[in-house]
Amino acid sequence: MPVPEVKFDALAARIAGLEFARSGWLGAARVDALARLGAMGLPTKRDEYWRYTDPADLIAAQAPRAASFDAEDEPPVFDGIDRLRIVFVDGVFDPALSDDLSLAGVEIEHLSQAGQTDIHWAREVYGVLETRGQTPVQRPLAALNTAFASDGVLIRATGRAARPVALIYLHRSETSDVILHHCVKIESGAELTLLESGPAAARFTKVMEVDVAAGGRFHHIRAQGRDHERRAATHLFARLGPESLLKSFTLTANGVLTRNDVVIELLGDDGVAHIAGAAVGDGTFHHDDTVFITHAGLRCESRQVFKKVLKNGAVGVFQGKILVKPGAQKTDGYQISQSLLLDGDSQFLAKPELEIYADDVKCSHGSTSGAIDEVALFYLRSRGVPDAAAKSLLVLAFLAETIAEIDDESIAADIRLRLQNWLERHEH
């Protein structure tokens, strides 16, 4: 089928000002990505997986302006967690704000430097998982990212990381348009917790590719920052080996436009992948979780747990799929997407999909949309809990299933506190 002309005009405009580096293995990967992108063109609202989210602002030649935002009323997220900090200011690595990159059990490098070497483990990951993730659903923004990423980090865990690694994105410029691409390799039996926080830029296009080898464990917790006006398109591509584990949790509070794509392949037997998201939006807020989990190994378990709290016209989107390949017997797939609409103006659009080609599997999915439970609210108030506090308690209870996917209790407590504070700031 011919690709409509409009896609290429948009693509030419989008990439016109971007720097394209051809040298080294990284250059070769970029050339491939550009070819993929050229064949696809940029997304439009007519594409199946962009029907509920207009990509216009994500593909525009210029990033829409976005005021940066200083949260003075609470300390930065994860501040209390002992972690190795890697700070990017508007997409540029800031060594002065960052810690020394040495950490027992982990190797950390910059994409911009490692891309020039001859041999590197990231050659087997960079653009490779993204390419796998282009079928059956095309993800042009990810290919664009692989082709034009200005920087990123390459993290290889060879043992149990002594402490979490934290990527901290600071947004300072109202016009920053940032493309970062990270690769993570969890070697056999290794374990790493990766934290991400902040809005990064006026517009942020991010890809993270994660390769988890046999028995490896990867924990990912991110908070996408409180900047009201920023836009973001992020992708997480992951490939899981036998008996490996990946757990990813995302908190999104504010941001006019967020599209989070997650593409997971459970390739080995007995792998576990849990993807969770809690989104809270008030007013101009459009949040889209698009998830695709493929079961190829035996006895793998996947969970998709997405909850959104929406008010004053905020919009939430969930498109989640479980694909069980032939032979992926004893698959245990679970998917839940729910929204709590705090008023009549908000909207939740959900498209759950199951596609199953094995006959001995357990897959369940559910999607609901509802208001605060008035009976539970009265019960709490009748015990003396004031109306606003009772509502906050019920909203946090609604989101609890997502936070339960965070294994580290101190990190979970921090996320809970952020939500509590958000609810207080946006009192019903």
Partner 1 sequence: MLEISDLHVKLEAEDKPILKGVNLTVRAGTVHAIMGPNGSGKSTLSYVLAGRDGYEVTGGTAMLAGQDLLAMEPEERASAGLFLAFQYPVEIPGVGNMTFLRTAVNAQRKARGEADLSAGDFLKLVREKARTLKIDADMLKRPVNVGFSGGEKKRNEILQMAMLEPKMCILDETDSGLDVDAMKLVSDGVNALRDAGRAFLVITHYQRLLDHIHPDVVHIMADGRIVKTGGPELALEVEKNGYADILAEAV
Interface residues toward partner 1, by CB under 8 A = 373-376, 378-387, 389-390, 393-394, 396-401
Q: Which of 288, 285, 265 is nearest to 277 (CA)?
A: 288
Q: Are 370 and 341 in contact (CB under 8 A)?
A: yes
CB of 396 to partner 1, least distance (A): 7
Task: Please identify, using beta-carbon distances, which residue of 21 and 385 lies nearer to partner 1.
Answer: 385
Pairing verdict, β 92-93 and 84-89: antiparallel
Task: Please identify, using beta-carbon distances, which residue of 78 and 422 lies nearer to partner 1.
Answer: 422
CB of 185 to partner 1, least distance (A): 36
CB of 354 to partner 1, least distance (A): 25
CB of 159 to partner 1, least distance (A): 35
CB of 374 to partner 1, least distance (A): 7
Task: Please identify, using beta-carbon distances, which residue of 394 and 417 lies nearer to partner 1.
Answer: 394
| Angstrom distance (rounded) from CA 253 to CA 227 | 9
Task: Please identify, using beta-carbon distances, which residue of 358 and 394 lies nearer to partner 1.
Answer: 394
Main-chain phi, psi angles of 222, to 5 degrees: -135, 150
Task: Please identify, using beta-carbon distances, which residue of 15 and 251 lies nearer to partner 1.
Answer: 251
Q: Are 114 and 154 in contact (CB under 8 A)?
A: yes
Pairing verdict, β 106-110 and 153-157: antiparallel
Sign of the C-alpha dihedral, residues 140, 199, 166, 118? positive
CB of 368 to partner 1, least distance (A): 13
Task: Please identify, using beta-carbon distances, which residue of 61 and 388 lies nearer to partner 1.
Answer: 388
Q: Which of 169, 226, 228, 166 is nearest to 201 (CA)?
A: 169
Task: Please identify, using beta-carbon distances, which residue of 39 and 397 lies nearer to partner 1.
Answer: 397
Amino acid symbol at 143: A
Task: Please identify, using beta-carbon distances, which residue of 21 and 372 lies nearer to partner 1.
Answer: 372
CB of 399 to partner 1, least distance (A): 8
| Angstrom distance (rounded) from CA 259 to CA 236 | 11
Q: What is the DSSP string of 220-278?
A: EEEE----SS-EEEEEEEEEE-TT-EEEEEEEEE--SEEEEEEEEEE-STT-EEEEEEE
Q: Is the peptide bond before 140 cis (omega within 30 degrees of 0)?
A: no
CB of 377 to partner 1, least distance (A): 9
Amino acid symbol at 209: E
